[in-house]
Structure 1
Amino acid sequence: MKKNIIYFLSCLVLAVGLVSCSDDNKEPLLPLSVLIEGGETQEIVQGGTLNLKAEVEGSSEVEYVWKLNGKDVATTSTYDFTATELGSYDVQLTVSNAEQGEASAKVTVDVYGKYKYGTFILNEGSAWGGDKGGYLIFISPEGELVNKAFQEENNGAWLGSVPQDLFIANKKMYIVSQNGGNEGGFLTIVNAETLKLETAYGDELKGKIDWPTHVAVLGDDNIYLRDNAGIKLFHPSTGEATLIEGTNGARKNTMAVVEGKVFASQSKNLLVIEAGKNEVSATVEFDSNISGVVKSSDNNVWVSVSSGKIAKVNAKDYSIMKENDLAATNADAAKTLSASFAAAPSITAKGDTLYMSALSTKIYRHIFSTNETKLMVDAKEMVENANIVYNTVAVDPVTEGVYLNTIKGYGDVGINQISIFDFSGDTPTFKATYNDCTKYPAGTFFTSNFK
């Protein structure tokens, strides 16, 4: 009996020892960690859905808690976020289990309006009958076209008659109409992401401006309007519109804003206007009339002139960094740089690559660094009824799609096409085309050019 007891106790000690050894050899649990797929800052269009997914390391057995602005919203490994109001939202994820504790991750989601990214085509409309005024066409990055987008977002309200130009700054869009009238007046200010009307200046600007055609903005209270007299500085806070000294005869064409300054053309002169000043700060003279002034991707200024030259001007010291003479290498392309009655510039740029067409159906490409110029397409060969080019070619700085607006004729303006060319291959193709939706398109504007 005594031997049995001793044997039993020996086995018990051995078993305890084995368990103890097993516990000593067990690897410690790794700490939990979690990330939210996509990064700590994400964005989604208003009304869209963003699928947020947890990436957990350390265990596959955890509990999930998602919080939106501090309130519980989900307990699964994924969370579908959606919002109907613009703004910034905080989403926090916590994962936990009894053995390892918990870990957290956070993401800030910015909800933006449907018009924040994309392309606008501004239409003059028919001032002499039919339509009440001009309108905006919007093309989303996915290719969806919204006709009369301003009217759609403002209960059918119309822009002023014969709009010519727009500018985006401080989350606002400024649209200038030379004839005024309607709900939009001479200057319409809308939310740049929703197109909801914020302010319109009609009667307030009567007698202060004369056929305004172009706009540039340095601040909410520093709006520059080009009209028949020159360039005027409009202060909404006081209602004053003061002619900038030295801008008489400023060309009816797009102005550029670079380094907090306005660059505009006046015959052979590139004018520089600094914030808060009532006179021209500097002038750069060229050998012939300027036909285009465009902001470059490196924050300098592209300038085209009627003699067939393209120059890059330093936006800080106004020196000419480099100038290419297209007339010496491609005379036909050089002709497209002449100053015409178009409201849009004769050049358009995507990085170091520029395109030009003037009012012809032939689109040329010029690579500035190599001084190479090439005919890319004659739109007549691909676009039916492309008899008249209305305003000039424009290149999307993101997609590289090249836009050309054509109409059959002034008497057949209802027959028209927006053609978006793809020049990435050996032969030109279409990225997209849209038929019969423009009415005298004043210009094509890409939201990415206003960053």
Structure 2
Amino acid sequence: MKKNIIYFLSCLVLTVGLVSCSDDDKEPLSPLTVVIEGAEAQEVVQGTTLNLKAVVEGSSEVKYAWTLNGKEVSTTPAYEFTATDLGKSEIQLKVSNAEQGEAAAKLDLDVYGKYKYGTFILNEGASLRGDKGGSLIFISPEGELVEMAFQKENNGAWLGSVPQDVFIANNKMYIVSQNGGNEGGFLTIVNAETLKLETAFGDELKSQVSWPTHVAVLGDDNIYLRDNGGIKLFHPSTGEATLIEGTKGARKNTMAVVGGKVFASQNKNLLVIESGKDKVSATVEFDGNISGVVKSSDNNVWVSVSTGKIAKVSAKDYSIIKENDLSADKDATKTLSASFAAAPSITAKGDTLYMSGLATKVYRHIFSTNETKLMVDAKEMVENANIVYNTVAVDPVTEGVYLNTIKGYGDNVSINQISIFDFSGATPTLKAHYNDCTKYPAGVFFTSNFR
């Protein structure tokens, strides 16, 4: 009996030892990890669909929980997200099981509107083609062209008649039309990402402005409108537009906003208008009529003069930082004349400027080296490019140089071209070419120039 008890206890000890050894040898479970695949960028355009996928390591048997802005949207390994609402979207994913706990991943996306990035071409409208007013053409960074973009986003509504200028600020686009009317009036304000109409001023401005042509914005309630009387400060909150003292005779041309100030041209004078002031703060006089005022990439001001000069002016103290004289090249000088074009005679990408005036020859001027060169005569590359409608414009991102041409007036206006030139190589090439979609184009506007 005693031997049996000893044998039993020995077996028990051995068994416990074996079990203990087995437990000690068992490897602990690795922790769960998870990542979200399927999103290549944190910014996505409205309407985009992302096929998101959970990639889990540590186990193949887990529960999934996807949430969008805190609301559960899926419990499967994959989630199809469609960007509908503008702004921030937070996507969270949690995976879990009883043995290993849980792991999480997060994806922050910024959903932006279709029209946030790209190029706009503003059209005055052609009554012979049945237009009631103006329209917008949009070209995406991928080269997709959308005609009548404003009408498409606003149930067929029309801008005012003969629009001339566009300005973008505070996520709003401001479009000024010299004849007013239609749903857009004299000043149309739309969401800059969706083009949805926010407000329009027609009758409110009718007695206060005379053929307004250009707009600059320093704030939601500080909108500057150039018209036949000068430059007027319009306060939407009160509906009042008052003339800025000293701006009578301001040129029908683009105004620039730099450092919270408006820069405009008036014959030989560069006018400076500061926020909140009811008169011109400073004047810089040149030796000829100013033909272009453009913001520079280093936050100063480019100024072109009809005598064949291009200057860079300090936006802080209004001194002339440097001035180049192109007058030795008579053909290039002609492009700097103060013509009737609504767009400036110069356009800039960094230190490089382009000019064409109202002719088909495009010149390039490198400011730092004072070199001027004929880049192309559009007639030699573009069929029916007989008349340049407004002036040349360079994309500050892609460096594509835009030129709008028409075959002629009357019935011939229906034959027109948007030509985008590439001057990066030894010889000019056409990056893109669009036929028969403009309607007397007033100007080319790049969203990147307003950032």
TM-score clears 0.5: yes
Work out whether 1:22 is the aligned partner of 2:25: yes
Range with bigger deviation, 206-215 or 4-13: 4-13
The residue identity in structure 2 corresponding to 1:22 is D
Shift of 1:79: 2.5
Is the 1:290–1:303 Cα contact (8 Å) retained in structure 2?
Answer: yes
Work out whether 1:397 is the aligned partner of 2:396: yes
- Distance in 1 (alpha carbons) for counterparts of 2:421 and 2:233: 38
The residue identity in structure 1 corresponding to 2:168 is I
The verdict on how the C-alpha distance between 1:398 and 1:62 changes in structure 2, with shifts beyond 3 A counting, is farther
Shift of 1:122: 0.7
Shift of 1:410: 1.5
Is the 1:173–1:189 Cα contact (8 Å) retained in structure 2?
Answer: yes
Listed as ranges, the matches of 1:266-345 within 5 Å are 266-328=266-328, 330-345=329-344
The aligned counterpart of 1:194 is 194
Is the 1:40–1:108 Cα contact (8 Å) retained in structure 2?
Answer: no
The aligned counterpart of 1:90 is 90
- Distance in 2 (alpha carbons) for counterparts of 1:290 and 1:60: 71
Shift of 1:55: 5.4
- Distance in 1 (alpha carbons) for counterparts of 2:447 and 2:119: 6
Shift of 1:7: 9.0
In structure 2, stretches of 5+ residues that fail to align are: none
Is the 2:39–2:50 Cα contact (8 Å) retained in structure 1?
Answer: no
The aligned counterpart of 1:178 is 178
Corresponding residue SS for 1:417: strand
Shift of 1:387: 0.5
The verdict on how the C-alpha distance between 1:350 and 1:79 changes in structure 2, with shifts beyond 3 A counting, is farther
Q: TM-score, normalised by structure 2?
A: 0.91
Q: Note the aligned Cα RMSD (angstroms).
A: 2.6
The aligned counterpart of 1:153 is 153
Shift of 1:394: 0.8
Provide the aligned length of Structure 1 versus Structure 2.
Answer: 447
The residue identity in structure 2 corresponding to 1:222 is N
The aligned counterpart of 1:204 is 204
The residue identity in structure 2 corresponding to 1:345 is P
Shift of 1:177: 0.8
Corresponding residue SS for 1:152: helix
Listed as ranges, the matches of 1:379-390 within 5 Å are 379-390=378-389
Range with bigger deviation, 182-191 or 253-262: 182-191
Corresponding residue SS for 1:231: strand
Corresponding residue SS for 1:327: coil
- Distance in 2 (alpha carbons) for counterparts of 1:383 and 1:53: 48
The verdict on how the C-alpha distance between 1:385 and 1:239 changes in structure 2, with shifts beyond 3 A counting, is same
Corresponding residue SS for 1:413: helix
Is the 2:123–2:135 Cα contact (8 Å) retained in structure 1?
Answer: yes
The residue identity in structure 1 corresponding to 2:393 is A
Shift of 1:323: 2.4
The residue identity in structure 1 corresponding to 2:424 is S
Is the 1:122–1:165 Cα contact (8 Å) retained in structure 2?
Answer: yes
- Distance in 2 (alpha carbons) for counterparts of 1:154 and 1:94: 41
The residue identity in structure 2 corresponding to 1:202 is G
Q: TM-score, normalised by structure 1?
A: 0.91
Q: Percent identity over the alignment?
A: 81
- Distance in 2 (alpha carbons) for counterparts of 1:308 and 1:57: 68
Partner deviation per Cα, 1:239-294 (whole Å, 9 max, x = no partner): 11111011111111001111111111112221111111101112222222211111
Shift of 1:8: 6.2
Shift of 1:63: 3.7
Shift of 1:44: 2.3
Shift of 1:351: 2.1
Is the 1:44–1:50 Cα contact (8 Å) retained in structure 2?
Answer: no
Is the 1:41–1:107 Cα contact (8 Å) retained in structure 2?
Answer: no
The aligned counterpart of 2:259 is 259
The residue identity in structure 2 corresponding to 1:252 is K
The verdict on how the C-alpha distance between 1:251 and 1:107 changes in structure 2, with shifts beyond 3 A counting, is same
The aligned counterpart of 2:361 is 362
- Distance in 2 (alpha carbons) for counterparts of 1:246 and 1:81: 55
Shift of 1:429: 1.7
Partner deviation per Cα, 1:350-402 (whole Å, 9 max, x = no partner): 22222111111111222223333222211101100000000011111222221
The aligned counterpart of 1:168 is 168
The verdict on how the C-alpha distance between 1:163 and 1:35 changes in structure 2, with shifts beyond 3 A counting, is same
Partner deviation per Cα, 1:299-330 (whole Å, 9 max, x = no partner): 222221222222222222222222222335x4
- Distance in 2 (alpha carbons) for counterparts of 1:78 and 1:309: 61
- Distance in 1 (alpha carbons) for counterparts of 2:375 and 2:66: 53
